[in-house]
Structure 1
């Protein structure tokens, strides 16, 4: 899993971004990834661990699985 920090998450809109600790490009996170993990929200600055996948619709990298670190 990749370690990172929540950069932004809007629970009303159901998406945000996680900044990987290795300095690579921010990764999109959607509410469905949180639902799969049994989480309801993310807080700015929260430490998380996550895996990524390529979104079949957009072709962009997104969070597949996530958990609080």
Structure 2
């Protein structure tokens, strides 16, 4: 599946606008392999991504994005645009 990151909050929760036109899908920064070892970095809104979809842990909630990978952001851009600056 493909989409575009829409926005993030300070706790690492955000949404992806799906390219197929279906409803936006919830994503957490922990589902981005390249961000797992960066304790305070967040992906940049507007970045194109590919992702898989899995059922939410609560069956009454919509599915969530998993295994999310950024398509057009380099490592240097990620550091330059971190929402939180590392000390």
Question: TM bucket by the smaller chain?
Answer: 0.7 to 0.9
TM-score in terms of structure 2 length: 0.66
Structure 1 outlier segments of 4+, above 3 Å:
none
More strand by share: 1
- Structure 2 residue runs of 5 or longer lacking an equivalent are 36-40, 72-87
Q: Is the 8 A contact 2:29 2:43 kept in 1?
A: no
Measured after TM superposition, the shift of residue 59 of structure 1 is 3.6
Instruction: Measure, in 1, the Cα distance between the counterparts of 2:17 and 2:31.
Output: 16
Alignment TM-score, normalising by the size of structure 1 = 0.81
Unaligned runs of 5+ in 1: none
Give the CA deviation at 1:30: 1.1
